[in-house]
Amino acid sequence: MAADIDEQPAGYERLLAAEYAAPIARVAAAIAERRPRHVVFTARGTSDHAALYGAYLTEIRLGLPAGLASPSTMTLFGARPDLSDALVVGVSQSGGSPDLTEVLRVARESGALTLAVTNAPDSPLAGAAELSVDIAAGHERAVAATKTYTAELLALLLLVEGIRAGDGRLPDEEHRALAALPGLAARTLDDPTPTQLAPRYRFAAQLVTTGRGYAYPTAREAALKLMETSYLPALAFSGADLLHGPLAMTDPDVPVLAVVGSGPGGQAMGEVLPRLGERRADVVVVGSAEVEGATRIAVPEVDERYAPLLDILPLQRLALALALARGENPDAPRGLKKVTATM
């Protein structure tokens, strides 16, 4: 897991290089030409959080309604929704789960434009889709996904921005901003703070993660990493949803990891953090925002669209260090396999 985490800056650099960025641009141009009226994502596990990020990008940057499909409606209940004006995107590291492949097959039969975003370009998922994107993350050693998750994020970012451009080609200023990501990621991973904080949670019985906007998928992915590597019950909430009830469970014995950036999503957390303070919750802030009086894992400030590519890195480090502190093996969590096949 440590090796996979450390490879992410190089993964960003590879995916941004012409060899892989150019095919993504061509896919983006093909989608723009078809002019879908809405976008449906389908994914499981870690990839579901990448898909949620894709949905935020789609609605904010493209102005198209977006949502996440429930595969069981098609695989278990036999539903055949009319997806004729949709772009349906399957996101999967392995491309091997039959339920996601079935969703793309059904969607394609109904007239949808289908796309597979996967680390396995020869997978069944890619074969079922009309278009495919290779996230080029390379072999992932640990069961818990790290570098494939961030590669999915970056591929979806390039895809959506390419669709927005119309011809798949990103503006020069976007290229320059993205070119800085590998260096910023390496700098983020060099910060020892996550490892130093791990003993703080060694005996925690449960934990809450939270964020808004683009940070919400990060909060969900962080919770999953903690659950699957340390077996620590971790509940992820949008900052808004946290205030609608779950706030009541927070207290000094329930640590909270709050992902807080400098954009609108982070600013909206300004009403959440004081309420957590009222509950005397043990809060650690992750992100670029300066929060007075809070323990903080600082992350370089970037455009809010890019922040999930950096914010998750220290949280992966924290999950790794906490698993080791609790005497667990983060490379091979009990009961889990790298490829999970569901229907």
Contact between 102 and 71 (Cβ < 8 Å): yes
* 55 Rama sector, left if φ>0, alpha if ψ -120 to 50, beta otherwise: alpha
Report, as an integer, the average pLDDT of 217-227: 97
* 302 Rama sector, left if φ>0, alpha if ψ -120 to 50, beta otherwise: beta
Query: What is the pLDDT confidence band of residue 340, given thresholds at 50, 70 and 90?
Result: low
Report, as an integer, the average pLDDT of 136-145: 93
Q: Which of 3, 150, 27 shows the shortest CA–CA distance to 87?
A: 27
Q: Long-range contacts made by residues 197-202, C-beta under 8 angstroms, separation at least 24?
A: 197/284, 197/295, 197/297, 197/318, 197/321, 198/318, 198/321, 198/322, 198/324, 198/325, 199/325, 200/255, 200/282, 200/284, 201/232, 201/255, 201/318, 201/322, 202/322, 202/325, 202/326
Query: What is the pLDDT confidence band of residue 343, given thresholds at 50, 70 and 90?
Result: low
What is the rounded CA–CA span in Å between residue 321 and residue 172? 39
> What pLDDT sits at residue 336?
64
Report, as an integer, the average pLDDT of 254-283: 93
Mean per-residue pLDDT of the chain: 94
Contact between 210 and 259 (Cβ < 8 Å): yes
What is the rounded CA–CA span in Å between residue 343 and residue 116? 18
Report, as an integer, the average pLDDT of 69-81: 92
Residue bearing tokens 């890019």: 306
Q: Which of 17, 12, 331, 23 shows the shortest CA–CA distance to 152?
A: 12
Give me the phi and psi of 52, to 5 degrees please. -65, -40
Contact between 260 and 215 (Cβ < 8 Å): yes
Checking if the pLDDT of 250 tops 60, the result is: yes
> What pLDDT sits at residue 53?
98
What percent of the chain is modeled with pLDDT above 90? 92
> What pLDDT sits at residue 333?
82
Report, as an integer, the average pLDDT of 174-197: 97
pTM of the entire structure? 0.96
Which domains, ranges and CATH numbers included, belong to the chain?
2-179 (3.40.50.10490), 188-325 (3.40.50.10490)
What is the rounded CA–CA span in Å between residue 187 and residue 172? 24
Q: Which helix (H) or strand (E) holds 50?
A: helix 46-57
Report, as an integer, the average pLDDT of 55-81: 95
> What pLDDT sits at residue 337?
61
Checking if the pLDDT of 339 tops 90, the result is: no
Query: What is the pLDDT confidence band of residue 335, given thresholds at 50, 70 and 90?
Result: low
Q: Long-range contacts made by residues 120-123, C-beta under 8 angstroms, separation at least 24?
A: 120/92, 120/93, 120/94, 120/95, 120/96, 121/95, 123/92, 123/94, 123/95, 123/96
> What pLDDT sits at residue 198?
95
- Chain segment 13-58, per-residue pLDDT in tens: 999 999 999 999 999 999 999 999 999 999 999 999 999 999 999 9
Contact between 136 and 14 (Cβ < 8 Å): yes
Give me the phi and psi of 237, to 5 degrees please. -135, 145
